[in-house]
């Protein structure tokens, strides 16, 4: 069982990914050894004993989880289990009732706005609804963080903005207002804004929902690339089972106010009926397929 889980771990996330290079795989193996540098280091984002309730509705009760540096963590869980709320908490937009949240060592829950601003300079966030400023053009929206926080010239900014817009597959949208974009375009424009400042940590709320298959692949490749080549710590929430399982180094399944954490393979081999039910037939099949492929490759 253990052997299977290990083999699965090494193989699952990137197996079959078109962009996976030998180099990438090699580094991946190393990262996934039993004690790795990344694991030995404290989590890039640490959530400890967090409790939160909205009135009578308890969202978290003693939630503990870690998001390791330079890894892709996928948050899963049914609708309303608090995935977006957890991301908001990491960004300091929502204070927990109890417990602590640390981002790169900085305590979030007691910081004031000025302290939070410092942390947020290292964070990028894609909101579930995009949250672009609707009175500004797409170009100005994406350029905004650069204009605010860097002293780049307008032409440097324009280059960077166009580069990021192209990376998310948006061309000729500069002068459109967010209201004139489709849902999928809006989300991609928002992603371009979130990555334009090259954050260390990227929080993505449902980056794939509402996208057509080519764009799902494009965004997946982009996020994977940012993670692999820039060492971006990525925290993604997603209902997109196949994509998440392919990308994830760790999967965190939120439920009952807490979370179950594991590599995709560990979750796949879990005997917990609730987990199996959540992963569904597709997810489990996908995982065991990847697992056996990897095992085949090893053997």
Binding site for another protein (CB under 8 A): 88, 91-93, 113, 116-118, 120-121, 123-125, 127, 129, 131-134, 144-145, 148-149, 193, 197
Phi-psi group of 177: left, alpha or beta (phi > 0 → left; psi -120 to 50 → alpha; rest → beta): beta
Q: What strand order describes the sheet that includes 98-103?
A: 57-67, 45-54, 98-103, 106-107
Using the rule CB under 6 A, give the single segment among 52-60, 115-123, 168-176, 221-229 that binds ligand ATP.
52-60
- Our finding on whether 82 is near ligand ATP (CB under 6 A) is yes
What is the C-alpha separation between 219 and 211, in angstroms, rounded?
9
**By CB under 5 A, is residue 84 in contact with Mg ion?**
yes
Report, in Å, the least distance between residue 90 CB and another protein.
Answer: 10
Contact partner at residue 79 from another protein, ligand ATP, Mg ion, none, CB < 5 to 8 Å by partner kind: ligand ATP
85 binds ligand ATP, rule: CB under 6 A: yes
**In the bound complex, what is the minimum distance in angstroms from residue 84's beta carbon to Mg ion?**
3
Select from 32-40, 51-59, 262-270, 291-299 the region that touches ligand ATP (CB under 6 A): 51-59
Q: How far is the CB of 43 from ligand ATP (least distance, A)?
A: 21
Among 36, 54, 156, 272, contact with ligand ATP (rule: CB under 6 A): 54
Q: Is 42 in the site for ligand ATP (CB under 6 A)?
A: no
């Amino acid at each position: 069982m253990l052997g299977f889980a290990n083999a699965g771990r090494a193989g699952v996330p990137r197996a079959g990914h078109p962009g996976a290079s030998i180099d990438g795989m090699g580094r991946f193996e190393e990262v996934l050894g039993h004690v790795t540098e990344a694991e030995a280091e404290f989590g890039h984002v640490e959530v400890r004993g967090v409790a939160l309730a909205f009135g009578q509705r308890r969202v978290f009760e003693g939630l503990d989880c870690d998001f390791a540096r330079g890894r892709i963590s996928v948050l899963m869980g049914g609708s309303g289990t608090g995935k977006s709320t957890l991301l908001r908490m990491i960004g300091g937009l929502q204070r927990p009732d109890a417990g602590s949240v640390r981002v790169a060592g900085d305590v979030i829950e007691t910081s004031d706005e000025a302290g939070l601003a410092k942390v947020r300079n290292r964070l990028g966030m894609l909101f579930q609804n995009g949250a672009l400023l609707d009175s500004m053009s797409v170009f100005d929206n994406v350029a905004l963080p650069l204009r605010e926080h860097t002293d780049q010239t307008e032409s440097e900014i324009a280059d960077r903005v166009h580069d990021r817009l192209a990376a998310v597959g948006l061309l000729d949208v500069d002068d459109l207002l967010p209201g004139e974009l489709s849902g999928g375009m809006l989300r991609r424009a928002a992603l371009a804004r979130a990555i334009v400042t090259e954050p260390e940590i990227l929080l993505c709320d449902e980056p794939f929902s509402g996208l057509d298959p080519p764009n799902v692949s494009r965004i997946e490749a982009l996020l994977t690339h940012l993670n692999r080549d820039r060492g971006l710590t990525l925290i993604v929430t997603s209902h997109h089972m196949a994509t998440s399982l392919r990308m994830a180094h760790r999967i965190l399944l939120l439920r009952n106010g807490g979370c179950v954490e594991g590599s995709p393979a560990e979750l796949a081999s879990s005997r917990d009926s609730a987990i199996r039910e959540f992963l569904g037939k597709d997810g489990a099949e996908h995982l065991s397929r990847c697992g056996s492929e990897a095992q085949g490759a090893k053997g």
